[in-house]
Amino acid sequence: EAKKNGRGRYQVFAGDMDDLLLRKRKVEAELRKALTGGGGIKLAYQPVFATDGRRILGAEALIRWSHEVHGALPAAQFIAIAEERGLIGELGKWALSEACRFAVGTELPWIAVNISPMQLRDAGFAEQIASILKETGLDPARLQLETTESVLLEHNETIGAVITALRQSGVRIVLDDFGTGYSSLSYLRRQAIDKLKIDRSFIRLLDEDRSAAAIVKALIELALALKVEVTAEGVETDEQKTLLVGMGCNQLQGYLLSPPLEPGQLLALPGLPSAVPERSAARA
Ligand code: C2E
Ligand code: MG
Ligand code: MG
Ligand code: MG
């Protein structure tokens, strides 16, 4: 195959190596600029629904960066670069402030913000959250922080203390992408988290793969038994929704129900707490 493509292929590969480093440096510089007032960074909000598929329980903030030349870049990609280049603290702080400022004036019961493991390793993180909550006026009970399993397995004292302080202040801790890492069953046992989000990779296989279905069912039962909330992420089909509801999962998120939305689009949805009464009152 290498021969078939000849010299061209090799050069493309060599070029890619240089390119990658150059691209990362460029992305870093541009991200820095965007963060210091250059614009182009914003948050999209994906609602989480009750089993009726209509009532909105809360929303997850997902960062979006529209690059002036390359257009929309995948979040996972530029977040990885931000982590690598020491920018994640600033990026994360921006996302937290922006999400809290948005949520405070809305009827959203809660807002969830994704947190990088690097943010949780910072001993000052709980204080940073406290000051953002104070500045924006958001009730701590309305803030959920989503983090992945890996970070909880570090047996890092700082992380443990930060999570304890956050939970004591009323902020909720959510285990994102649950099932993809080494399951943090000890965290569940110690009731150190408030919610599990079952990873999309399991939900995707739900209607075609018996083992995936058995795992999802077991995870939901585990969460319910421990009185930890449970959300299914990446729900794309009616079949998946029906199966999940049958298994007792009462929080659903995914393209079937709604993609991530602009703030205005989210607030225009009919399922927010005040939306229904307000409308019937207006009609009466
Ligand atoms: P995540 O937190 O697990 O978010 C779910 C991802 O799945 C989002 O991708 C969302 O747009 C996408 N998604 C939602 N519903 C569906 C569905 O039904 N089908 C499919 N195929 N995809 C669905 P996105 O926005 O590209 O974000 C990717 C990841 O980047 C997030 O995964 C999260 O880990 C990270 N991320 C996003 N925003 C932030 C942030 O502000 N800070 C940090 N540290 N990480 C963030
Ligand atoms: Mg998430
Ligand atoms: Mg997730
Ligand atoms: Mg994910």
What's the pLDDT tens digit per position in 109-162? 999 999 999 999 999 999 999 999 999 999 999 999 999 877 777 778 899 899
Q: What are phi and psi of 57, to 5 degrees?
A: -90, -30
Q: What is the rounded (10 degree) CA torsion for 160, 224, 169, 252?
A: 100
Could you give the CA distance from residue 215 to residue 217 in angstroms, rounded to a whole number? 5
Would the CB of 132 count as within 6 Å of ligand 1? no
What number does the ligand 1 atom closest to the CA of 256 have? 18
Could you give the CA distance from residue 119 to residue 132 in angstroms, rounded to a whole number? 14
Best residue among 114, 204, 205, 207 to mutate for probing ligand 1, ranked by most atoms within 8 Å of CB: 114
Best residue among 46, 62, 128, 252 to mutate for probing ligand 1, ranked by most atoms within 8 Å of CB: 62
Would the CB of 234 count as within 6 Å of ligand 1? yes
Would the CB of 76 count as within 6 Å of ligand 1? yes
At residue 183, the pLDDT reads 66
What number does the ligand 1 atom closest to the CA of 95 have? 41
Tell me the pLDDT band of 9, cut-offs 50, 70 and 90.
Answer: very low
Rg of the chain taking only CA atoms, in angstroms: 21
Residues 67-86 have a mean pLDDT of 88
Is 1 a residue whose pLDDT tops 50?
no
Q: What ipTM is given for this predicted complex?
A: 0.98
